[in-house]
């Protein structure tokens, strides 16, 4: 605040440096939680951790830079992509087994000709279903955060880099 009216946000070297350092590690940890099935966690938890890294970046560097990293078009696409992945695998089970298997019965995929049904299930769960859940949760949480934080900047201020540091009326 600094007592100056109109200045609500300013650079802080320590916070920016720490954030730059932390965000990649948070994202790698989120992928580890999301994809693997050996440890604790799953798609929901991994997605939330990934969204938290985006929120941390946006809080530190301002909403315009945050939106530049996760553009609105990408966000809108990712929103439904995860759900399509999950439901699509389920539908693929029916289609590829010519209607013999149930919805979401992963072992009916032709992949089980190469490996055992149990391994097919494990592969589908860890690499497709959990990633789909994680994508949807991550992008939905980021989308909710951006929508709540957005104040119409970028419309009034044509210079986006400058608009970060000026106050919006």
Partner 1 sequence: MKPISAMALLFVVFLGALFIYVSEDIPDFGDPYSPANRYVNLHISIDVGADGLEDSLRAGVIPEELSSRIKARGFPSPSETEYSVEEVEGGWDVLIAKEELLYPEPEKYYFLKEEEEGNKLVVYRYSIPVRWEEKCEEEIGVPNMVTAGLADYRGYDTLGETTVIFTAGIAVILLLRRRGKL
Residues 55-84 contacting partner 1, CB under 8 A: 79-80, 82-83
> Which residue in 34, 64, 70 sits closest to 49, CA to CA?
34
Does residue 38 interact with partner 1 by CB under 8 A? yes
Does residue 125 interact with partner 1 by CB under 8 A? yes
To which H or E segment does residue 117 belong?
helix 117-124
Among 18, 28, 95, 144, binds partner 1 (CB under 8 A): 144
Q: Say if CB 47 and CB 134 are below 8 A apart.
A: yes
Does residue 155 interact with partner 1 by CB under 8 A? yes
Select the span of 7-15, 21-29, 55-63, 118-126 touching partner 1 (CB under 8 A). Answer: 118-126
Tokens of 54: 């985006």
Does residue 118 interact with partner 1 by CB under 8 A? yes
Of residues 22 and 48, the one with the C-beta less far from partner 1: 48
Among 19, 129, 131, 164, binds partner 1 (CB under 8 A): 129
- Give long-range contacts, CB 8 A cutoff, 24+ apart: 142-146: 142/51, 142/54, 142/55, 142/70, 142/75, 143/75, 143/76, 143/79, 145/51, 145/54, 145/55, 145/58, 146/58, 146/63, 146/66, 146/67, 146/70, 146/72, 146/75
State the residues that interact with partner 1 by CB under 8 A: 37-40, 42-44, 79-80, 82-83, 86-87, 90, 97, 100-108, 112, 116-119, 121-122, 125-126, 129-130, 132-133, 136-137, 139-141, 143-144, 147-148, 150, 152, 155
């Amino acid at each position: 605040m600094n007592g100056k009216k109109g200045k609500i946000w300013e650079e802080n070297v320590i916070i920016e440096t720490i954030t730059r350092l932390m965000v990649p590690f948070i994202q790698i940890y989120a992928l580890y939680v999301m994809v693997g099935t050996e440890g604790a966690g799953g798609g929901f938890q991994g997605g939330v951790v990934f969204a938290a890294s985006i929120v941390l970046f946006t809080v530190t560097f301002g909403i315009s830079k945050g939106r530049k990293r996760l553009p609105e078009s990408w966000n809108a696409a990712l929103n439904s992509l995860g759900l399509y992945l999950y439901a699509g695998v389920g539908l693929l089970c029916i289609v590829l087994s010519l209607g013999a298997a149930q919805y979401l019965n992963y072992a009916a995929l032709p992949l089980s000709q190469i490996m055992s049904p149990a391994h097919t299930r494990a592969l589908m769960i860890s690499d497709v279903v959990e990633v789909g859940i994680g994508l949807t949760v991550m992008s939905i949480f980021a989308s909710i955060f951006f929508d709540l934080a957005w104040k119409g900047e970028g419309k009034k201020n044509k210079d986006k880099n400058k608009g970060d540091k000026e106050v919006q009326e």
